Amino acid sequence: MITTDFVPGSPCWLDLGVPDVRSAAAFYGAVLGWDFEAMGEGDDWQGGMFRKDGKTAAGLGRLTEEGARPAWMVYYSVADAEATTQAVQRAGGTVRVPPTDLDEWGRMAQYTDPLGGQFAVWQAGTSPGIEVVDQPGALSWTELYTTDAAAAKEFYGSVFGWQYGDMQLPGGGGTYSLITPAGLPEERMQGGLMQVDKEALALANGQPYWHPVFDVTDCDAAVAKVEESGGSVQMGPDTAEGIGRMAVCLDRWDADFVVLAPERK
Protein backbone atom coordinates (compact mmCIF):
# COMPACT_ATOMS: atom_id res chain seq x y z
CA MET A 1 0.00 0.00 0.00
CA ILE A 2 1.09 3.57 -0.67
CA THR A 3 1.35 5.78 2.41
CA THR A 4 2.30 9.40 3.04
CA ASP A 5 5.40 8.73 5.15
CA PHE A 6 7.30 8.72 1.83
CA VAL A 7 10.30 6.54 2.58
CA PRO A 8 13.08 6.67 -0.06
CA GLY A 9 11.92 5.10 -3.31
CA SER A 10 8.20 5.43 -2.59
CA PRO A 11 5.77 7.36 -4.82
CA CYS A 12 5.27 10.81 -3.34
CA TRP A 13 3.92 13.01 -6.13
CA LEU A 14 2.35 12.87 -9.56
CA ASP A 15 1.36 15.45 -12.10
CA LEU A 16 -0.25 15.59 -15.50
CA GLY A 17 0.75 17.64 -18.53
CA VAL A 18 -1.98 18.38 -21.09
CA PRO A 19 -2.68 21.09 -23.68
CA ASP A 20 -5.89 22.30 -22.00
CA VAL A 21 -5.70 22.75 -18.24
CA ARG A 22 -9.28 23.91 -17.77
CA SER A 23 -10.77 20.92 -19.62
CA ALA A 24 -8.49 18.49 -17.77
CA ALA A 25 -9.62 19.94 -14.45
CA ALA A 26 -13.24 19.31 -15.43
CA PHE A 27 -12.50 15.78 -16.70
CA TYR A 28 -10.76 14.55 -13.55
CA GLY A 29 -13.23 16.38 -11.36
CA ALA A 30 -16.00 14.31 -12.94
CA VAL A 31 -14.10 11.00 -12.86
CA LEU A 32 -12.34 11.16 -9.48
CA GLY A 33 -14.29 13.81 -7.59
CA TRP A 34 -11.34 16.18 -7.49
CA ASP A 35 -11.55 19.92 -6.92
CA PHE A 36 -9.04 22.14 -8.72
CA GLU A 37 -7.10 25.10 -7.39
CA ALA A 38 -5.86 27.05 -10.41
CA MET A 39 -2.57 28.91 -10.68
CA GLY A 40 -2.36 31.79 -13.12
CA GLU A 41 -4.08 35.10 -13.61
CA GLY A 42 -7.70 35.33 -14.70
CA ASP A 43 -8.71 32.74 -17.27
CA ASP A 44 -5.12 31.94 -18.25
CA TRP A 45 -4.72 28.72 -16.28
CA GLN A 46 -1.13 27.53 -16.44
CA GLY A 47 -1.74 24.74 -13.96
CA GLY A 48 -2.64 24.10 -10.37
CA MET A 49 -3.45 21.47 -7.77
CA PHE A 50 -6.06 18.75 -7.68
CA ARG A 51 -7.53 18.30 -4.22
CA LYS A 52 -9.67 15.59 -2.68
CA ASP A 53 -11.60 16.66 0.42
CA GLY A 54 -9.24 19.60 0.74
CA LYS A 55 -6.04 17.53 0.52
CA THR A 56 -3.59 17.67 -2.38
CA ALA A 57 -4.03 14.63 -4.65
CA ALA A 58 -1.97 15.57 -7.74
CA GLY A 59 -0.69 18.42 -9.86
CA LEU A 60 -1.73 19.63 -13.32
CA GLY A 61 0.15 21.78 -15.80
CA ARG A 62 0.04 22.91 -19.41
CA LEU A 63 2.13 20.68 -21.66
CA THR A 64 5.00 22.77 -23.00
CA GLU A 65 7.68 20.25 -24.01
CA GLU A 66 7.88 20.05 -27.81
CA GLY A 67 6.93 16.63 -29.11
CA ALA A 68 5.89 15.31 -25.68
CA ARG A 69 2.69 13.31 -25.34
CA PRO A 70 0.13 14.16 -22.65
CA ALA A 71 0.91 11.81 -19.76
CA TRP A 72 1.07 11.39 -16.02
CA MET A 73 4.50 11.71 -14.43
CA VAL A 74 5.18 9.76 -11.22
CA TYR A 75 7.73 11.11 -8.72
CA TYR A 76 9.59 8.99 -6.18
CA SER A 77 10.90 10.28 -2.88
CA VAL A 78 14.68 10.59 -2.48
CA ALA A 79 16.95 12.03 0.19
CA ASP A 80 19.38 13.57 -2.30
CA ALA A 81 18.42 14.40 -5.89
CA GLU A 82 22.05 14.94 -6.90
CA ALA A 83 23.09 11.50 -5.64
CA THR A 84 20.08 9.93 -7.37
CA THR A 85 21.03 11.64 -10.62
CA GLN A 86 24.48 10.11 -10.41
CA ALA A 87 22.94 6.69 -9.69
CA VAL A 88 20.64 7.03 -12.71
CA GLN A 89 23.57 7.86 -14.98
CA ARG A 90 25.73 5.04 -13.63
CA ALA A 91 22.89 2.61 -14.33
CA GLY A 92 22.53 3.77 -17.95
CA GLY A 93 19.64 6.20 -17.60
CA THR A 94 19.56 9.77 -18.90
CA VAL A 95 18.68 13.09 -17.31
CA ARG A 96 15.73 14.96 -18.83
CA VAL A 97 15.55 17.69 -16.18
CA PRO A 98 18.55 18.12 -13.84
CA PRO A 99 17.97 18.63 -10.10
CA THR A 100 16.05 21.89 -9.81
CA ASP A 101 14.89 23.85 -6.76
CA LEU A 102 11.20 24.73 -6.60
CA ASP A 103 11.36 27.56 -4.09
CA GLU A 104 11.27 26.22 -0.54
CA TRP A 105 8.97 23.30 -1.45
CA GLY A 106 11.70 20.91 -2.57
CA ARG A 107 13.99 19.80 -5.35
CA MET A 108 12.95 17.77 -8.40
CA ALA A 109 14.58 15.96 -11.30
CA GLN A 110 13.25 13.94 -14.24
CA TYR A 111 14.88 11.01 -16.00
CA THR A 112 14.51 8.39 -18.70
CA ASP A 113 15.41 4.78 -17.91
CA PRO A 114 17.65 2.85 -20.36
CA LEU A 115 14.61 1.40 -22.14
CA GLY A 116 12.81 4.73 -22.56
CA GLY A 117 10.49 4.90 -19.54
CA GLN A 118 10.19 8.37 -17.99
CA PHE A 119 10.02 9.00 -14.26
CA ALA A 120 10.93 11.67 -11.73
CA VAL A 121 12.15 12.17 -8.17
CA TRP A 122 11.35 14.62 -5.40
CA GLN A 123 13.67 15.72 -2.60
CA ALA A 124 11.35 17.24 -0.02
CA GLY A 125 11.74 20.73 1.37
CA THR A 126 8.68 22.15 3.05
CA SER A 127 6.43 19.90 0.94
CA PRO A 128 6.89 16.12 1.29
CA GLY A 129 4.38 15.38 -1.48
CA ILE A 130 0.72 14.59 -2.00
CA GLU A 131 -1.49 14.58 1.07
CA VAL A 132 -3.98 11.82 0.28
CA VAL A 133 -3.31 8.26 -0.95
CA ASP A 134 -4.82 4.77 -0.89
CA GLN A 135 -8.44 5.84 -0.59
CA PRO A 136 -11.20 6.67 -3.07
CA GLY A 137 -10.12 9.50 -5.34
CA ALA A 138 -6.41 9.07 -4.64
CA LEU A 139 -3.30 7.32 -5.92
CA SER A 140 -3.15 3.70 -4.78
CA TRP A 141 -0.54 2.04 -7.04
CA THR A 142 2.01 2.76 -9.77
CA GLU A 143 2.73 0.53 -12.74
CA LEU A 144 5.38 0.23 -15.44
CA TYR A 145 4.84 -1.43 -18.81
CA THR A 146 8.25 -2.22 -20.28
CA THR A 147 9.83 -4.21 -23.10
CA ASP A 148 12.40 -5.88 -20.80
CA ALA A 149 11.31 -6.61 -17.24
CA ALA A 150 14.67 -8.01 -16.15
CA ALA A 151 16.56 -4.94 -17.34
CA ALA A 152 13.99 -2.61 -15.74
CA LYS A 153 14.24 -4.43 -12.41
CA GLU A 154 18.02 -4.17 -12.48
CA PHE A 155 17.94 -0.45 -13.29
CA TYR A 156 15.35 0.62 -10.72
CA GLY A 157 16.83 -1.73 -8.14
CA SER A 158 20.20 -0.03 -8.50
CA VAL A 159 18.68 3.47 -8.32
CA PHE A 160 16.11 2.97 -5.54
CA GLY A 161 17.03 -0.35 -3.94
CA TRP A 162 13.57 -1.73 -4.68
CA GLN A 163 12.67 -5.28 -3.68
CA TYR A 164 10.70 -7.46 -6.09
CA GLY A 165 8.34 -10.38 -5.79
CA ASP A 166 7.16 -12.15 -8.94
CA MET A 167 3.71 -13.59 -9.51
CA GLN A 168 2.23 -15.39 -12.51
CA LEU A 169 -0.80 -13.75 -14.10
CA PRO A 170 -3.80 -16.01 -14.72
CA GLY A 171 -4.47 -17.42 -18.15
CA GLY A 172 -0.84 -17.36 -19.23
CA GLY A 173 -0.73 -13.58 -19.02
CA GLY A 174 2.94 -13.53 -18.07
CA THR A 175 4.86 -12.48 -14.97
CA TYR A 176 4.00 -9.45 -12.86
CA SER A 177 6.73 -8.10 -10.56
CA LEU A 178 5.55 -6.47 -7.35
CA ILE A 179 7.61 -3.53 -6.03
CA THR A 180 8.35 -2.83 -2.36
CA PRO A 181 10.61 -0.05 -1.02
CA ALA A 182 14.00 -1.12 0.30
CA GLY A 183 13.90 -2.75 3.71
CA LEU A 184 10.12 -2.71 4.11
CA PRO A 185 7.74 -5.70 4.40
CA GLU A 186 5.50 -6.86 1.56
CA GLU A 187 2.56 -5.06 3.15
CA ARG A 188 4.14 -1.88 1.82
CA MET A 189 4.08 -2.93 -1.84
CA GLN A 190 3.60 0.22 -3.90
CA GLY A 191 3.45 -0.88 -7.53
CA GLY A 192 4.39 -3.35 -10.18
CA LEU A 193 6.06 -3.80 -13.52
CA MET A 194 5.44 -6.20 -16.35
CA GLN A 195 6.95 -7.00 -19.70
CA VAL A 196 4.80 -6.41 -22.76
CA ASP A 197 5.38 -6.47 -26.50
CA LYS A 198 6.42 -3.23 -28.15
CA GLU A 199 3.13 -3.26 -30.07
CA ALA A 200 1.28 -2.90 -26.75
CA LEU A 201 3.09 0.41 -26.11
CA ALA A 202 1.56 2.33 -28.99
CA LEU A 203 0.59 5.21 -26.70
CA ALA A 204 4.27 6.06 -26.28
CA ASN A 205 5.41 5.04 -29.77
CA GLY A 206 6.74 1.74 -28.49
CA GLN A 207 8.54 3.19 -25.46
CA PRO A 208 7.94 1.87 -21.91
CA TYR A 209 5.84 4.05 -19.63
CA TRP A 210 4.62 4.44 -16.06
CA HIS A 211 1.02 5.13 -15.19
CA PRO A 212 -0.94 5.75 -11.98
CA VAL A 213 -3.73 3.64 -10.51
CA PHE A 214 -6.49 5.57 -8.75
CA ASP A 215 -8.75 4.09 -6.09
CA VAL A 216 -12.49 4.43 -6.77
CA THR A 217 -15.54 3.17 -4.94
CA ASP A 218 -17.29 1.95 -8.11
CA CYS A 219 -15.20 1.04 -11.16
CA ASP A 220 -18.12 0.87 -13.59
CA ALA A 221 -19.42 4.25 -12.48
CA ALA A 222 -15.94 5.75 -12.92
CA VAL A 223 -15.68 4.24 -16.42
CA ALA A 224 -19.06 5.75 -17.31
CA LYS A 225 -17.77 9.16 -16.19
CA VAL A 226 -14.62 8.70 -18.28
CA GLU A 227 -16.68 8.06 -21.40
CA GLU A 228 -19.24 10.78 -20.64
CA SER A 229 -16.38 13.27 -20.22
CA GLY A 230 -14.75 12.50 -23.57
CA GLY A 231 -12.25 9.84 -22.52
CA SER A 232 -12.13 6.19 -23.53
CA VAL A 233 -11.46 2.73 -22.12
CA GLN A 234 -8.54 0.60 -23.30
CA MET A 235 -9.34 -2.47 -21.23
CA GLY A 236 -12.06 -3.58 -18.85
CA PRO A 237 -13.78 -3.22 -16.56
CA ASP A 238 -12.61 -6.63 -15.36
CA THR A 239 -12.61 -8.25 -11.95
CA ALA A 240 -9.37 -9.75 -10.66
CA GLU A 241 -9.81 -12.17 -7.79
CA GLY A 242 -8.19 -10.90 -4.61
CA ILE A 243 -7.55 -7.45 -6.12
CA GLY A 244 -10.78 -5.84 -7.26
CA ARG A 245 -12.51 -4.47 -10.33
CA MET A 246 -10.41 -2.31 -12.65
CA ALA A 247 -10.22 -0.64 -16.04
CA VAL A 248 -7.42 0.94 -18.06
CA CYS A 249 -8.60 4.35 -19.26
CA LEU A 250 -7.50 7.25 -21.43
CA ASP A 251 -8.45 10.84 -20.76
CA ARG A 252 -9.46 13.25 -23.54
CA TRP A 253 -5.80 13.68 -24.55
CA ASP A 254 -4.91 9.95 -24.42
CA ALA A 255 -3.03 10.17 -21.11
CA ASP A 256 -3.46 6.73 -19.56
CA PHE A 257 -4.45 5.79 -16.02
CA VAL A 258 -6.20 2.95 -14.22
CA VAL A 259 -9.26 3.06 -11.99
CA LEU A 260 -9.49 0.30 -9.40
CA ALA A 261 -12.26 -0.51 -6.96
CA PRO A 262 -10.28 -2.76 -4.62
CA GLU A 263 -11.68 -5.62 -2.61
CA ARG A 264 -12.10 -4.00 0.77
CA LYS A 265 -11.81 -5.88 4.03
Mean pLDDT, 10 residues at a time, over the chain (265 residues)? 90 95 96 91 79 97 85 97 98 97 95 97 96 97 96 98 90 86 93 92 91 97 98 93 92 96 84
Residue 239: how many CB atoms within 10 A of its CB? 12
CB 130 within 8 A of CB 139: yes
**What is residue 42's predicted lDDT score, i.e. its pLDDT?**
62
Residues with Cβ within 8 Å of 42's Cβ and at least 6 positions away in sequence, in order, are none
pTM for the whole structure:
0.95
CATH number of the domain located at residue range(s) 11-124 in this protein:
3.10.180.10
Residues with Cβ within 8 Å of 67's Cβ and at least 6 positions away in sequence, in order, are none
CB 131 within 8 A of CB 211: no
Measure the CA–CA gap between 233 and 197, rounded to whole angstroms: 20
CATH architecture of 139-262: Roll (3.10)
Residues forming CATH 3.10.180.10 domain(s) in the chain = 11-124, 139-262
